[in-house]
Amino acid sequence: MSKPVVLVVMDGVGWTEKDKGNAVMHAYKPQLDELMSKWPHTTIKASGTAVGLPSDDDMGNSEVGHNALGCGQIYSQGAKLVNESIESGKIYQSNAWQGAVNFVKEHNGKLHFLGLLSDGNVHSNISHLIAMLKEAKAEGLKEVRVHILLDGRDVPETSALQYVDQLEDVLKELNDGSFHGAIASGGGRMVITMDRYEADWGMVEKGWHIHVMGDGPMYPSARAAIEALRAEGGYTDQYLPGFVVGENGVPAGTIDDGDSLILYNFRGDRAVELSKAFDYMNKGFDKFDMPKKPNVYYAGMLQYDGDLKLPDNFLVEPPHIEHTLSEFLVNKGVKSYACSETQKFGHMTYFWNGNRSEKFSDELETWEEVPSDIIPFDQKPWMKATEVTEKIVAAIESGEYQFIRCNYPNGDMVGHTGNYEATIIGVESVDLNLKRVMDACLKHDYALLVMADHGNADEMYDKGFNADGSPKAKTSHSLARVPFIIYNGPEGTEIKDGDFGLANVAATVTKILGYDDQPKEWLESINK
């Protein structure tokens, strides 16, 4: 027997009995409690090697999670790809690296590195930056500048100085009469530069002024900037205002004609907009005014968008993901519908379809985006869950689609704020909306798959306490397994015995839809 399928991703909702500020455990969630007790269910892996990351100590994230969900396979991802390229030396043999180095030498310019400064291993890793700094000196470059984006999201919320000190120590060792490297600018990742899905181009514009023009509050060092701004506004790292490093009104390193710039983030979603700004600055770019348009050689760590071929130059080849679930369903003539609000819309589309921004079929695939509010997520933790739900229920009621998928970002986006109470509300908002989806699936006889892509809301407290005795907030993802439930499945639906991960979901979807000829590359289904 078969049924049409609705798949719900509760972003950032891990499932664990450990209570370290477990907002999932303590939320009022009658729907999830019913699903995890009365219907076929299990927990599945959503981090580490199960999603193509280097080790099982590496937290999963929405990018690799949706890649795995959408392709049914495990590909080397992100940090693992870059690690392999650095270890083999292939990164330095790439056209992009050689192009960046040669451009600097030919123009007597500077080499700039820009990216998230941490070892969070979600968007970047400081070890990659350090390796490239050493190689830059070895290849005879004289002037190197680093523009640092502070994390506080995939690592402890006020850990920035740990990474600044680590970088300053490396630069001190490298600096001599033939080489000079320095930090030139910085700011929090949720304030400048790292916007995604074109939700707030103003962030990128602020980054342009800070990094390119040296236009911003100036401090003698990155440490001085961070300490002063924390004292002024009590900011955690991800929300620290942008700053310029310099003395006597002279920036330490603006991005000028004849320079090269490498964006060393490997994750694509928060790298696309800056890449558009550099690659399109003289090709009709109109997202913000550019008082300065330097003639530079720009390269990304990876190609962040395979369909847009963005950026033109990149150091490491991304995984070439083939045999995706969407492609399989299009070839079967199955109509599908995907929806989320802006914050996770790209995950339901671009990442789901194997890092492609285009559909496999305009006729068979429908995508619908609900615009996210531009507001701190803990100020409105319900986000756009209701609006997403209304569209999903309408898609079910239409009877037009055999496969419907959506993402509720609340557990992840509110969880990243570190606000435990708000995150509980975020989880409860998703649970409340699940009731409407469950009722619609029951009424119209759809099978409903409910899961998450990684943990976050399940672990809101870090080690240690604040000065007032309150628990220290944890803003990063967790290593928790995630729930997987089949609601109203075909008669006799059962969960197999086994240790499954996100990459097993694609085969599960197609089996419930009634197909038994899944690609040989896919992992097995979770249901019997």
Which residues belong to the active site?
A: 62
- Cα–Cα distance, 501 to 453 (Å, whole number): 10
* Residues 80 and 267 sit within 8 Å (Cβ to Cβ): no
Q: Supply the DSSP symbol for 372.
A: P
* Residues 507 and 56 sit within 8 Å (Cβ to Cβ): no
* Residues 407 and 343 sit within 8 Å (Cβ to Cβ): no
Counting Cα atoms < 13 Å in the Cβ hemisphere of 370 gives 20
- Sign, CA dihedral 81-87-92-93, equals negative
Q: Give the containing element (helix H, strand E) for 309.
A: none
String of DSSP letters for 463-481 = EEE-TTSPEEE--S-B---
Assign 185 to helix, strand or coil. strand
- Cα–Cα distance, 478 to 516 (Å, whole number): 34
- Cα–Cα distance, 271 to 196 (Å, whole number): 7
The contacts of residue 224 (CB under 8 Å, 6+ apart) are none
Among the listed residues 170, 374, 204, 174, the one whose alpha carbon sits nearest the alpha carbon of residue 274: 204
The number of helix segments (H) and strand segments (E) in the chain equals: 17, 18
Q: How far apart are the first and last CA of the chain?
A: 12
Assign 292 to helix, strand or coil. coil
H-state helical runs in 61-159: 62-71, 78-88, 90-93, 95-107, 126-138
Token digits of residue 362:
């305009």
